């Protein structure tokens, strides 16, 4: 199986922590955020790993070396994860693959969980707990995605997508076909990947939700998130 990790962004909200290194290279114990993901993927027999790079790309390439393949997003300054994943199209369209954000910290069991529960055209790992305004919220009906965006009212949200998704062969074809259309429209060019997921659901594709609870995860958007992740990591040996 293949995997794509998007790691192109600048991480401006991290302040000076990312002045000289990309956010995925922040340390967590002996590893970095992204090297830890690569190790977890390889332990789950996912050996063909593509990293979409942008900001200070040479540092990620140097850190991970030949164990990964690298794809450059030349528009990393002005686009979001949807277009970063689109650049992996020649390598994964029509193939089943796992998709991850490069700034995630998560318990290793979550990768096994989504690989075990993969069903339908797409499977999203979702934290089924209370969300805040900034969360990438999801609306769900009968275990399937209805909509995902930050603007969903908190009281209507099932939970938060954590940034890990499994694509089936059919799902990967549909995703890239949709993004081909979206990317050509200036109004939607800078949308998030969840905009495409929502479009897939509305087009009748089978977009499933897999509950990540009770396992820990953290998207590192701010310095506070990083401190929380490091604290959790230091206290849980099986993390």
Q: What is the mean pLDDT of the chain?
A: 93
- Domain 2-235, what architecture? Alpha-Beta Complex (3.90)
Asked whether 198 and 145 are in contact (CB, 8 A), the reply is yes
Q: For 10, what's the count of Cα atoms within 13 Å in the CB-facing half-sphere?
A: 11
Task: Give yes or no for a contact between 162 and 126, defined as CB atoms under 8 angstroms apart.
Answer: yes
* pLDDT attached to residue 133: 86
pLDDT for 36 equals: 96
Task: With both helix axes pointing from N to C terminus, report the angle between 193-202 and 169-182 in degrees, rounded to the nearest 10.
Answer: 110
The answer to which of 15-19, 35-39, 59-63 has the lowest mean pLDDT is: 15-19
Q: Where are the domains of the chain?
A: 2-235
Q: What is the reported pLDDT for 74?
A: 95
- Mean pLDDT to the nearest integer, 65-72: 97
Tokens describing residue 112: 């096994």
* pLDDT value for 131: 92
Question: What local confidence, expressed as pLDDT, does residue 185 receive?
Answer: 78
The answer to whether the beta carbons of residues 122 and 200 sit under 8 Å apart is yes
- Long-range contacts of residues 222-226, Cβ cutoff 8 Å, at least 24 apart: 222/13, 222/14, 223/14, 223/15, 223/17, 226/14, 226/17, 226/26
Q: Confidence band (pLDDT; 50, 70, 90) for 119?
A: confident
For residue range 172-217, list pLDDT tens digits in order: 999 999 999 887 777 777 788 999 999 999 999 999 999 999 999 9
The pLDDT assigned to 4 comes to 98
């Amino acid at each position: 199986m293949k995997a794509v990790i998007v790691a192109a962004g600048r991480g401006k909200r991290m302040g000076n922590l990312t002045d000289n290194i990309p956010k995925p290279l922040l340390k967590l114990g002996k590893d970095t955020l992204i090297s830890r993901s690569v190790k977890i993927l390889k332990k789950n027999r996912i050996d063909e790993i593509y990293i979409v790079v942008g900001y200070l790309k040479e540092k990620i390439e140097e850190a991970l070396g030949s164990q990964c393949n690298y794809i450059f997003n030349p528009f990393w300054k002005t686009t979001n994860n949807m277009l970063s994943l689109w650049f992996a199209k020649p390598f994964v369209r029509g193939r089943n693959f796992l998709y991850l954000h490069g700034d995630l910290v998560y318990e290793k069991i979550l990768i096994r969980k989504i690989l075990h529960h993969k069903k339908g055209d797409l499977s999203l790992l979702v934290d089924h707990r209370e969300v805040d305004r900034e969360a990438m919220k999801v609306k769900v009906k009968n275990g399937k995605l209805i909509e995902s965006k930050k603007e969903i009212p908190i009281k209507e949200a099932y939970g938060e997508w954590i940034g890990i998704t499994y694509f089936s062969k059919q799902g990967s074809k549909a995703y890239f076909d949709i993004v081909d259309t979206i990317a050509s429209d200036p109004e939607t060019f800078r949308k998030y990947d969840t905009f495409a997921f929502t479009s897939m659901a509305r087009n009748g594709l089978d977009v499933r939700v897999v509950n990540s609870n009770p396992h820990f995860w953290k998207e590192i958007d701010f310095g506070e998130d990083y401190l929380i992740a490091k604290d959790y990591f230091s206290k849980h040996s099986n993390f």
